[in-house]
Structure 1
């Protein structure tokens, strides 16, 4: 049997104590004890937790309302104690001694509105509301009292849904704002929207601009307001006004600026609807004056009444004076020192002087063209012309009255008959029609404060820009067929027009009847103290186209003192009609539009459907009868003035244009 091999013995030269305890060729790495590993991991987790807690506490918003706080559907605020949205309003070491923050202390982070959504949500799906929405923006608490008062009064008239966007940089509850105004939330039916963000007063200027634009964007998307309203004090804040205007321009929403004291100086704006309010600052009125020869006193009196009128919150009108060839030296001297506006440099003057070069006597046709060519609206929808006789003196409230009626009847309630048929607004109520014989209003006295008449005003009337352009087009067609304006429709009011009135009124009267249009007259002008103008007849003259050299009385025509019991002598032989044309003294300078509204037992303007209609001949009529008479009159104009056949024999598609009247 073979013997098993024995392992080789170690090298005999090495001693036992020379060998290592463990061989380095196969020994594994040393291991850490489990208790040590657990302690280090626990320390790391604790450090991470501390960092998370620190960051959470540092950036934790303090203005988030608790779940238990209920939200009011109108104000969007909690019904309990108001939640302060402004972190910086609390006492903090970040504030300087003066209450302002340095650039490093301003917050420029993301914007969050914690209250805005709750008040906007109820209006999210109200797209079929029958009234326009108007948005007031409150940015300055110093105007809160008067500004909120205007909004509340507007809401009480119930013509619009009134919303108030609260964007003040200082913290104040809605209840506090209302109490300053002397009002209660329940007595003021406006919708409040708290659009103040987090870190409100700590926001940097750049963040504030973002806040304004973002808040307006949210409110515009939900509310779809017809107009955004601020007051002049807030408009003077360039930062706020610029950001607001930029955003409104991008969403094509108009901005209307009202006076700081609008609740007293322009309280009539609270009765306007959204469409009228949107055009409050966008209308422009031009004044045309054509003084007579040797009429310096009349011209000076008229211009002084214009200068002393009330223009708070309204664009100043531009004045054009069409001087005759021979200028009164007293009038010229006055005009050299007349500034309009009165406190502006000449580079910003709104006074235009024009002098007629031709010294020949004006013909009716030339005089008509001269008047109609004196104005052309730069923007047809919002530019209008006020034609004034030099014999008138204006009430201080004349412009506010014109704006009020224009924004109410011309632009308000679109779709109504009066909106499309209204040519202009008169400032006086004549006693007679253009023939100076027929009573202006026949029959029962109208109970309404206003009346519609198809005869133009000879003294003071505002003509809307679109109708003035149409009158120019009609004059062009009319003069092409009748260059001397000698033809008239038989048995019409124009056939007996008095030479005391300008010749262009003949064409205006014709066009009113052709188009079935009307002029709005103040029926309240017959009430003492309610006149918008005063007509001075002591130095009146005929228009230049009808002017004749006055004849002096002969000695035989001068009345002699008779031997009778009469102890009083009169001056009737110098001006027989003077006693018949005497009018009350000019209206008081304290008269306001609000005093004019208290008419016929009413405090507001009448509804358009309640305004009575009168024909050019002064007879009461209605819309159906007026339409029939207008069609018959158009047929006569086409036959007598246009040289055409009867309209009934012509194609329907051409009827309705002015061109179809002239062949």
Structure 2
């Protein structure tokens, strides 16, 4: 470094010529000349000055077009790669902020950046980094809803368009007042309206029990559609992290912004969210959805229902009427069920002509994939079916891929359905199989089917059937004001049905197994079957497989849910004016039924002239009654005072069935407990 500061080569030369000559000492002078600063100090000062000038120029020209980074809130960049796609987002999961028990439920003001952020003029096509300035505050305030748990009571409505928000808020308010779930509403998109103004404009007050979240990015009005869609995906990601909503409702009509719906559809599957897109007019048509809890709504997209129709020979008129009523049904916000029609060998010309133009799903149903879900099966044998062949052909027509969520709706050709029938079925399935109360009380272990109609007679057709009245000790909420205790109510009956009934997937598997074992015994044993087994309790007006369904119901203590008389008249009707007996009993039964037909009976089976909204036809103000509050009937129509009465009857019947049919003579009392999901314990003569 010394040589660096030496510019004169003479300074470093050691030469005797430059040394002064020795002189005699003289007296030193009294004054000293001023000292010249060393050259090293001057050069150091020059370098320091140059560095200071450089720093000044750098600070003067530093970029200032980026907003101040707030480390409390997420910031994402929408930079594009060479291919034009959005830049990859870090995959790490953000750490939840410590909740503040005194935090408000959400911000009061509108959206927009912080005061220090850059001011972006509206409609400038802003595509900068995405910030969610208000979302963290409201998400931290909901710690009491157990949003960190995967299973909780949170459901969320989300909207981007203000028109969609106006359509969803009444449903969110109604669901909140039911107090079965924590209802949230997230506003996304590019509007700059404040949440207070949004609530005021839509008549939402504190009584609605809705928690609001401002999930809009900074500069919403100036942002591009792509930025808004990306911000919706990121908002949904953070909402799922801190809330874990069991279901997300969105407006699926054309009113909603397309980029918002695309963002929800792409983000929901990876997050395993149940996305429910509501059509136009949902509050009036799907008001029953607000009665469900979060556990039921979580299974909305999992439930699958198939429809099975067995057409008898010569029954073209009744089959065409049934198919027309199916085409007129309302499948709003529900997956269109697959339809299977079993045709006899001899097909009537009117039926063939109608099926040529019949389309399923209906033309006006929402079917974006345009997939046909109709299966026609035409039988080959010319001869009439026997009881055994009819039961086998019927049970082989369907198999549930997922026993918990796959179910089958069995329809008689004599049935006619109302436009609201499918809403009732899905409402009942979600409430009685997937709600928190159903899971806690294991209602699915008892429920064999859900009927749409009321039978006119007992199973043996020996006498008319009269529906029971509401139980005296029922929950008062099950009896709305103005209703009498003697008015017919929904009830549970051990007797199954074949006119219009939805069978649960697990019970269908058990019925399949029972028929398989029974037929095996019939073909392998050389002894005559027990009179207990051969005795027929179900009238020949019904198909032969219903006898096996009754045996299973009696052995297991299962029941079928039947609607009240008022509800049934708005769901389905079974016409006997064009009655056709099951093929296996056609020759001996049709004449008897024809003699029983009267004008009064025909009028009684007619559907209501105008189908009201579903909630208006239900007896408990739209709320489905608990099984504990419903009357319970044994298979022969006798009333069971307690559930123990049904269990005692089932235990006795199962023990008798094992001894008489299954060869289980040596079973002890501890072995009489039925195996859930199987009928192997009923048969001991063969390997299980």
Which of 615, 629, 632 does residue 610 from structure 1 map onto?
Answer: 629
The aligned residue for residue 542 of structure 1 is: 581
In structure 2, do the counterparts of structure 1 residues 444 and 303 end up closer, same or farther at CA, with 3 Å as the change threshold?
Answer: closer
1:156 aligns with 2:177: yes
1:122-271 to structure 2, matched below 5 A, reads 122-124=141-143, 126-127=145-146, 132-184=153-205, 186-203=206-223, 207-208=227-228, 210-233=230-253, 239-271=259-291
- Structure-2 residue corresponding to 1:298: 318
Distance 1:283 1:44 in 2: 70
- Residue 12 of structure 1 corresponds to none
1:468 paired to 2:508: yes
Tell me what 1:433 maps to. 458
Query: Aligned-pair distance for 1:603?
Result: 3.7
Q: How much does 1:616 deviate?
A: 0.6
TM-score, normalising length from structure 1?
Answer: 0.80
- Is the 1:259–1:312 Cα contact (8 Å) retained in structure 2? yes
Change (3 A) 1:331 1:85: same
Equivalent residue of 2:601, what SS?
coil
Instruction: Answer yes or no: is the 8 Å Cα contact 2:120–2:222 preserved in 1.
Output: no
TM-score, length of structure 2 as denominator length: 0.77
Stretches of structure 1 lacking an aligned partner (at least 5 in a row): 1-5, 10-21, 553-571
Aligned in 2, Cα 1:30/1:221: closer, same or farther, shift over 3 Å? closer
Shift of 1:411: 1.3
Contact 1:137/1:166 (<8 A) preserved: yes
1:373 alignment partner, one of 383, 389, 396: 396
Q: Look up the match of 1:516.
A: 557
For 2:491, the equivalent position in structure 1 comes to 451
> Equivalent residues in 2 for 1:587-606 (5 A)?
587-597=608-618, 599=619, 602-606=621-625
> CA shift at 1:405, angstroms?
0.8
Corresponding residue of 2:381 = 358
**In structure 1, what is the equivalent of residue 543 of structure 2?**
502
Please state whether the residue corresponding to 2:213 is helix, strand or coil: strand
Report the Cα distance in structure 2 between the residues aligned to 1:428 and 1:123, rounded to whole angstroms.
44
User: Is the Cα–Cα contact under 8 Å of residues 73 and 118 in structure 1 kept in the other structure?
Assistant: yes
C-alpha distance 257-74 of structure 1, shift in aligned 2 (>3 A): farther
Asked if the contact 2:152/2:244 (under 8 Å) is kept, the reply is no
Match of 1:556 in 2: none
Post-superposition offset of 1:144: 0.7
Whole-angstrom distance in 1 between the partners of 2:296 and 2:673: 34
| Residue aligning to 2:407 | 384
Q: What's the offset of the Cα at 1:346?
A: 12
Moved more, 444-453 or 355-364: 444-453
Runs of 5+ consecutive residues of structure 2 not aligned to the other structure: 1-19, 24-32, 74-99, 472-484
Q: Which residue of 2 aligns with 1:84?
A: 111
Cα distance, 1:319–1:443 mapped onto 2, change above 3 Å: closer
Pairwise CA distance, 1:120: 1.7
Query: Is the 1:268–1:404 Cα contact (8 Å) retained in structure 2?
Result: yes
CA distance in 1, matches of 2:350, 2:430: 39
- What's the CA shift for 1:251? 3.3
Q: How does 1:317-332 map to 2 (within 5 A)?
A: 317-332=337-352
Q: 1:112 maps to which residue?
A: 131
Paired residue for 2:443?
A: 418
| SS of equivalent to 1:641 | helix
Identify the residue that residue 91 of structure 2 maps to in structure 1: none
Q: Report the 3-state secondary structure (helix = DSSP H, G, I; strand = E; otherwise coil) of the residue aligned with 1:520.
A: strand
Q: Is the 8 A contact 2:152 2:246 kept in 1?
A: no
583, 586, 599: which is aligned to 2:607?
A: 586
1:467–1:31 distance in 2 versus 1, CA, 3 Å = closer
CA distance in 2, matches of 1:278, 1:497: 39
Contact 1:364/1:484 (CA < 8 Å) preserved in 2? no
**Contact 2:423–2:614 under 8 Å retained in 1:** yes
- Name which of structure 1's ranges 343-352 and 414-423 shifts more when overlaid on structure 2: 343-352
The alpha-carbon deviation at position 331 of structure 1 amounts to: 1.0
Cα offset, 1:647, TM superposition: 3.6
CA contact (8 A) 2:274 2:301 kept: no
* 1:86/1:200 contact within 8 Å kept: no
- Structure 2: distance between partners of 1:61 and 1:83: 20
Q: Counterpart in 2 of 1:560?
A: none
Instruction: Indicate how the Cα distance of structure 1 residues 252 and 427 shifts in structure 2: closer, same or farther if over 3 A, else same.
Output: same
Task: After TM superposition, give the deviation of residue 503 of structure 1 in Å.
Answer: 0.3
> 1:386 and 1:539 mapped to 2: Cα distance?
21
Preserved CA contact (<8 Å) 2:570 2:611: no
CA spacing shift, 1:205–1:168, aligned 2, 3 Å:
closer
